[in-house]
Copies of this chain bind each other. A is one copy, B any other.
Amino acid sequence: MDEIKILLTEKEMPTHWYNIQADMPNPLQPPISPRTGEVMAPEELAVIFPEALLKQEMSRERFVEIPDEVREIYRLWRPSPLFRARRLEKALDTPARIYYKYEGVSPAGSHKLNTAVPQAYYNKKEGIKRLSTETGAGQWGSALAMACSFFGLECTVYMVKVSFQQKPYRRSMMQVFGAEVIPSPSDRTEAGKAILAKDPDSTGSLGIAISEAVEDAATHDDTNYALGSVLNHVVLHQTVIGLEAKKQMEKAGYYPDVVIACSGGGSNFSGLAMPFVHDKIKEGKNTRIMAVEPTACPSLTRGKFTYDYGDTAHLTPKMMMYTLGSEFVPPGIHAGGLRYHGASPIQSQLLHDGLIEAKAYGQLSVFEAAKMFAQNEGIIPAPESSHAIRAAIDEALAAKEAGEARTILFNLSGHGHFDMSAYDAYLSGKLTDSSLPEDTLKELINALP
């Protein structure tokens, strides 16, 4: 019998991350300083990021060595397993081979730990005592809290107040790891105070929480800021997923015809995809590489490729990316990790260059796919990851229609153990589709420069 789990030993874990910037046909456009309106000098960011990460942000080296101290911690869950979804294939009666890389085995429950660990490491090495960050749904906050605990760093997480109140268990998880979790807006920062002065009952937003975390880092010498997606160094760290997956697909004996991952800021998508984009650019493979996003926040499928800010308060540099506008607040769908107005510059450039594609789904069809997956494969997937499952199922059905034994690879970026209220809403018929109306979309795009 063929194995269901394709495993790698710890010795087979990648020793280097892969940097797609070395191989992009069109290089990234430079970031623009929010202060000067000119191309940004890396030094401007040195007040909130360590030198090593800024270097990685700009690097065009093809391979960047993973420090031993980081690999030592990766070993707690990496290499992560690659599964063949045989029961799902059978349920779909498809000739397609469906493989999924499972990042939910990380102790924090998602791929976010892949970058949280090196970010904590480099900051520690450069003498930083504390990291500040923001979190919405809580995946990123709990990953960073754990990484900080491992390196003896303090960790301050500004958690969107409505999530702080509605998702107490992600908060508890961060606290178990010793992090301080502050409902945002708070009176800890000028940004938070200004919001509270206007609206004492504000339930917060990711934009406000970012402003608070950045201000906290910028105003404390011993404190830096950490971001869980969008930036080039985050994409770099996440490529450990795709590098492992490539080795595992080789062991399985198939090269994927289509590679699929969900996409918010783009970190889990880029992590799985970049090593396959490499093959497409350098070896002429004609793999389809698909980012899947919610119709409630369709930056890749409906957004504009232009310079925009990374945050609502316009404290970050402007970056060239697909965006719906930095002031856009998406409807409150249950895949909180996909509610970002833009996409990472790397992913955006590759989409613009036709090397990857994008697709959007409404959340009802996404939860339908999640339930089917759980009933066949056992794992309860995160709502974010379930966007990839939806697309993989549709690809498997298309393969059936065509009568072709295509190979499908997708990223199951995390489990849904902290998202059961979303399943509750779905099972009780309370979930709405939350797709963005056409008029709203047009207004958003027209307002962009």
Q: What residues make up the interface of A, taking CB atoms closer than 8 Å to B? A: 1, 3-5, 7, 9-11, 75-77, 83, 87, 105-109, 146, 149-150, 168-169, 172-173, 175-178, 371, 374-380, 415, 417-418, 420-421, 423-424, 427
A173 to B380, CA, bound (A): 8
A149 to B371, CA, bound (A): 11
**A11: chain B residues within 8 A (beta carbon):** 3
**A417: chain B residues within 8 A (beta carbon):** 109, 169, 415, 417-418
Given contacts A173-B420, A424-B172, contact A7 B9 (CB under 8 A): yes
Q: List 24 A-B contacts (CB under 8 A).
A: A3-B9, A3-B11, A4-B10, A4-B75, A5-B10, A5-B76, A7-B9, A77-B378, A87-B150, A107-B377, A107-B380, A108-B378, A146-B378, A149-B375, A150-B376, A168-B421, A168-B424, A169-B417, A172-B423, A173-B423, A176-B375, A176-B423, A176-B427, A417-B418
Q: Which residue of B lies closest to A168 (CB)?
A: B424
Q: Which residue of B lies closest to A422 (CB)?
A: B172
Q: Which residue of B lies closest to A11 (CB)?
A: B3
Starting from the known contacts A7-B7, A172-B427, 8 additional A-B residue pairs (CB-CB under 8 Å) come to A1-B10, A4-B10, A76-B83, A107-B378, A107-B380, A169-B420, A175-B423, A417-B418
A424 to B172, CA, bound (A): 6
Given contacts A4-B75, A7-B9, contact A176 B105 (CB under 8 A): no
Chain copies in the assembled complex: 2
Given contacts A417-B417, A420-B173, contact A178 B375 (CB under 8 A): yes
- Let me know if B371 and A176 touch, CB within 8 A: yes
- Let me know if B3 and A172 touch, CB within 8 A: no
- Let me know if A105 and B108 touch, CB within 8 A: no
**A374: chain B residues within 8 A (beta carbon):** 176-177
CB distance from A393 to the nearest CB of B (A): 16
A200 to B172, CA, bound (A): 35
**A424: chain B residues within 8 A (beta carbon):** 168-169, 172
A75 to B374, CA, bound (A): 16
**A107: chain B residues within 8 A (beta carbon):** 377-380
**A106: chain B residues within 8 A (beta carbon):** 378
**A168: chain B residues within 8 A (beta carbon):** 420-421, 424
A371 to B150, CA, bound (A): 13
